[in-house]
Structure 1
Amino acid sequence: MRALISAVLTSISLLASTPVSAVPSAQAPAPPGRQDSPQTAAKPERNPDDGWFFYRDPREEEKKKTPPPKPAVPAAPTDMSEKVGSAEWIQKNLPRIMMDAINNPKDREKVELYGYVQKLAMDKSEQFANTYIRVMSANPALDETISNPTSTFALRELDSKRDTERAAVLQEIAKTTGLWYFFRSDCPYCHRQNPLLDLLQQDSGISILPISLDHQPLQDGSYPNWVADSGQGQYLGVTSTPTLFMVHPSTGQLVSLAVGQRSLPDIERRIIEISRDQNWIDEATYQRAMKGMPQRFITDAFDPSSIDDPNDPKQVLDALRRAGMHGEAQQAATLDDLQKATGSNATPWKGSE
């Protein structure tokens, strides 16, 4: 018994003298599902050159080189390439001066500058307009109110003259042309068109050939001398009534005049326009009918080859004056100059001198 107790005590003393680090520690089993894989459990290889620092500062990223800031663009200076106050100078600088004043509304000088430049532009414009009106009214070649009057009494007189000339021109056209009138017997628009065609025929004397597309006469009894369509309508593509064609027998030309019901002035105008377009009348006759008088255009008489130096304003003006309504007529003169030029008393109310 004593031997057993002695052996136990000896074992206890041996355990007490053994270092703690030498005793293997019991490792608790990892909970299920939390076992580390060999890849994650393995410690990363250490680079001997790194030393024993536990933390390494990350390498500083190279700072991107930022471009230097662009210098502020100063406000555009006033363009002095043109004469200050000229139209070119105002056109180039007025918008900038205006925006500068708007952006600096408390700057009285900038606002005042804009006001003066704006007033300068308006004054120059008004002076030009006044001179333009005086020059146009004093020059018959440039005065549009001669051919296009604006006063009431002049317009009334022009309308009367135009009606007279138009009737005369239509009578001239009627001597060499005629109308083909395509209709249907039951066409209501044809019945309304018939009285207008009767007036046209009475006033101008133009011949009208009525052609029935359905081979039946008009229900109102108009145009008893009608003829049945024998293919002309189909050949000309007539699908609606009334339809009018203008015929020029000497040349054999056929031109569409109107489709559908038209007013008498519209038909007369179309007859004149087609006649001019087909050269059945000349330009002067056309202008008489449309304007009441022959029109003269500067382009008809302007001769650019008469100008030696196109950059010389005087030569260009002289060439345009020659092409004007009164040719090289004096725009202004004195009574003494007129008397010297004619060699006689040009001012009879002054008496003989």
Structure 2
Amino acid sequence: MIALPRAALLAAVLLAGPATAQTASAGINQPKQGYWWYAPPPKADKQAPPDPDALMKPLIPPMAELATFTPPKIRKLIEQQRDYAATVLTVDAVADFWRLEDFARRKARAFAGVTQIAMLQHPELNSKSANPMVGDARAELSAYKDDVRRRYLRAHAPEFALVMFSRSTCGYCRVQWPIVQRFQDEMGWQVTLMDIDRRPELGQRFGVEVTPTTMIIRRNSQQRMVIAAGIETYPNLAQMAYQAVRLLSGDIRPEQFMTGAGEEDGFFDALANGPVSSSDPRSRASDMLGGDLVNRPSEPK
């Protein structure tokens, strides 16, 4: 039953000719193809991605072309040459690395030279006019700033008070308190010592967790501001008090908080040449004074 159909098929193939015989025999030996059978597409030859860590000798351009490179491009070339030289460890490769380093050094020195000329032609960009380096001049500047701070803080003594929060077990508080008392003697301010061990409700009310904490409070107002958390030297305490009073009084904006005495509209004034933020500085200052500083409890009693 099985042999007869196969014999008949072979006879038909022989009668049909050699081409048909080849096709039929191929169909017998190959898998079925047609409507319900599909041959998978041939796979394309995939090339392996290049190894990023493969050893490659960097191409160092002529000096005239290298001079047109941007600093990031020069830095990248130097790093490539450094890695290559550290791998092959040949005299030529190491020498090429140091030639690139020398080029970068000369480029930086050239920039510094042009910078000096620019600072001389545009003194408003140079801090030396506002911060002299000569010893006698610095002493004169320091005395001037101290005088400006002292006159300003004494003038505002009736409006503000200084409160230092402490604990009976705080050894640092015994060091900080004489400094606060010196501020009282020199600026004429009222200062108060508050022991939050005896009155824990004050620590919760004013959010004091670290002692000593020194705070400025504005009289007949809810404005207050911490000016020291921990031990602070007297010059720094006076400087922070000066900055805080100016901020609470509206004489400066938050962006100018690091502007020292007598530095208004000068080199160290962040807003001397206009806004430095994308938003309106006046709106930001009013938001801070209205939210973070104004809506605070009044002076402890």
TM bucket normalised to smaller:
0.5 to 0.7
1:272 maps to which of 234, 242, 246: 242
Q: Which residue of 1 aligns with 2:69?
A: 87
SS of structure 1 residue aligned to 2:59: coil
The number of residue pairs the alignment matches comes to 221
SS of structure 1 residue aligned to 2:123: coil
Quick one: distance in 1 between partners of 2:238 and 2:106? 49
**In the alignment, is residue 301 of structure 1 matched against residue 273 of structure 2?**
yes
User: Does the C-alpha gap of structure 1 residues 266 and 76 become closer, same or farther in structure 2, counting only changes over 3 Å?
Assistant: closer
Deviations along 1:118-172, one digit per CA (max 9) or x if unpaired, are 4333322222222212322342111122223222222222211111112122223
Q: Which residue of 1 aligns with 2:123?
A: 140
User: Does the C-alpha gap of structure 1 residues 79 and 161 become closer, same or farther in structure 2, counting only changes over 3 Å?
Assistant: same
Structure 1 contact 189–261 (Cα < 8 Å) conserved: yes
Structure 1 contact 165–288 (Cα < 8 Å) conserved: no
SS of structure 2 residue aligned to 1:141: helix
Moved more, 94-103 or 136-145: 94-103
Quick one: distance in 2 between partners of 1:250 and 1:278? 13
2:90 maps to which of 105, 130, 136: 105
SS of structure 2 residue aligned to 1:290: coil
**In the alignment, is residue 78 of structure 1 matched against residue 59 of structure 2?**
yes
Moved more, 127-136 or 117-126: 117-126
Quick one: distance in 1 between partners of 2:210 and 2:100? 64
SS of structure 1 residue aligned to 2:128: coil
The AA in structure 2 aligned to 1:145 is K
User: Does the C-alpha gap of structure 1 residues 201 and 234 become closer, same or farther in structure 2, counting only changes over 3 Å?
Assistant: same
The AA in structure 1 aligned to 2:243 is E
CA drift of 1:234 comes to 5.7
2:221 maps to which of 235, 251, 268: 251
Quick one: distance in 2 between partners of 1:192 and 1:303? 41
Moved more, 90-99 or 173-182: 90-99
The AA in structure 1 aligned to 2:260 is M
Structure 1 contact 163–292 (Cα < 8 Å) conserved: no
The AA in structure 2 aligned to 1:164 is D
> 1:153-172 alignment to 2 at 5 Å?
153-172=136-155
Quick one: distance in 2 between partners of 1:263 and 1:210? 18
Over alpha carbons, which structure has the higher Rg?
Answer: 1
2:135 maps to which of 125, 136, 152: 152
User: Does the C-alpha gap of structure 1 residues 257 and 298 become closer, same or farther in structure 2, counting only changes over 3 Å?
Assistant: closer
Deviations along 1:277-298, one digit per CA (max 9) or x if unpaired, are 43543259x7898254323457
**In the alignment, is residue 206 of structure 1 matched against residue 178 of structure 2?**
no
User: Does the C-alpha gap of structure 1 residues 76 and 144 become closer, same or farther in structure 2, counting only changes over 3 Å?
Assistant: same
1:290 maps to which of 231, 248, 260: 260
> 1:170-181 alignment to 2 at 5 Å?
170-181=153-164
Structure 1 contact 287–293 (Cα < 8 Å) conserved: no
Structure 1 contact 193–261 (Cα < 8 Å) conserved: yes
User: Does the C-alpha gap of structure 1 residues 302 and 259 become closer, same or farther in structure 2, counting only changes over 3 Å?
Assistant: closer
Quick one: distance in 2 between partners of 1:77 and 1:240? 58
User: Does the C-alpha gap of structure 1 residues 281 and 203 become closer, same or farther in structure 2, counting only changes over 3 Å?
Assistant: farther
Quick one: distance in 2 between partners of 1:164 and 1:90? 50
SS of structure 2 residue aligned to 1:281: coil
Deviations along 1:14-53, one digit per CA (max 9) or x if unpaired, are xxxxxxxxxxxxxxxxxxxxxxxxxxxxxxxxxxxxxxxx
Quick one: distance in 1 between partners of 2:230 and 2:94? 64
SS of structure 2 residue aligned to 1:247: strand
Moved more, 256-265 or 152-161: 256-265
Quick one: distance in 2 between partners of 1:242 and 1:117? 55
Structure 2 contact 243–257 (Cα < 8 Å) conserved: no
**Please, which runs of 5 or more residues in structure 2 have no aligned partner?**
1-44, 277-301
Moved more, 97-106 or 115-124: 97-106
TM (normalized to structure 2)?
0.53
Structure 1 contact 166–288 (Cα < 8 Å) conserved: no
CA drift of 1:205 comes to 1.7
TM (normalized to structure 1)?
0.47
Quick one: distance in 1 between partners of 2:82 and 2:208? 64
Deviations along 1:306-327, one digit per CA (max 9) or x if unpaired, are xxxxxxxxxxxxxxxxxxxxxx
Q: Which residue of 1 aligns with 2:251?
A: 281
Structure 2 contact 211–229 (Cα < 8 Å) conserved: yes
